[in-house]
Amino acid sequence: MRHYHSYDELIRNNARWAVEKTRKDHKYFEMLSEYQAPPFLYIGCSDSRVPIDTLTQTEPGELFIHRNIANQVILTDINLLSAVEYAIEVLQVRHIVVCGHYECGGIAGAYHNNLRGLKENWTSRIKDLSRIHREELDSLPDEKARLDRLTELNVVDQVQNLFKISEIERLIEAGLQGGYYPRLHGWVLDLRSGLIKDLELPLQHWKANGVVPSNYQEY
């Protein structure tokens, strides 16, 4: 049976961690406190089983993180837009990653239409995706496969929304003339294996439809 930490244990664990970090490098926290220059903006799900720093073996200062239920990129969400603006204008991140995960409660709840209140409103786009891709989803062998595929479709849809954010559009257009612009990626974490799936984005389709500039390069 899994052990869950008590509140007091969290504080004690933090103290032990700080002591261990200082023992290995007495300037660790001095350097950490001076500035941050992460190369990645990570937009992920709030799910407690997705500690992205642990899964990617990254240290504090390497990821700028924004999380919400089912990793939504909603173009009216001031919280997300502020995080994106700060990441690209102040931190000048080199990559922006939208990361979903299989066995996502937000995906399942939207698919089964059993979320209510603000949760239902927040995941309304996932319900739309379920309807738009109904034929593809229904062709899959079982519900697990359908939910997995809907998770992937959701990530791709949210990456597409990133391309519609005005600050990102501006940076890409300027960057194509020789300047800086961030590269956008879609991931899905498989909680059953611990592995990240780097999704292939339909960039050519998006370029043909004017969502992405024709000479945008993924890497």
* pLDDT, tens digit (0-9, with 9 covering 90-100), for 32-62: 888 889 999 999 999 999 999 999 999 999 9
Q: Per residue in 62-121, pLDDT tens?
A: 999 999 999 999 999 999 999 999 999 999 999 999 999 999 999 999 999 999 999 999
Q: Which of 5, 12, 25, 49 is catalytic?
A: 49
Chain-centre distance for alpha carbon 103: 15
104 is catalytic: yes
Whether 66 sits among the annotated catalytic residues: the reply is: no
Catalytic option among 47, 66, 146, 185 = 47
Mean of per-residue pLDDT scores for the chain? 93
Does 45 participate in catalysis according to the annotation?
Answer: yes
C-alpha to C-alpha distance for 99 and 42, rounded to whole angstroms:
7
User: CA 169, 155, 214, 63: dihedral to nearest 10 degrees?
Assistant: 60
148, exposed or middle or buried, with CB in 10 Å at 0-12, 13-18, 19+?
buried
pTM of the predicted structure, to 2 decimals = 0.92
Active-site annotation holder among 66, 99, 104, 185: 104
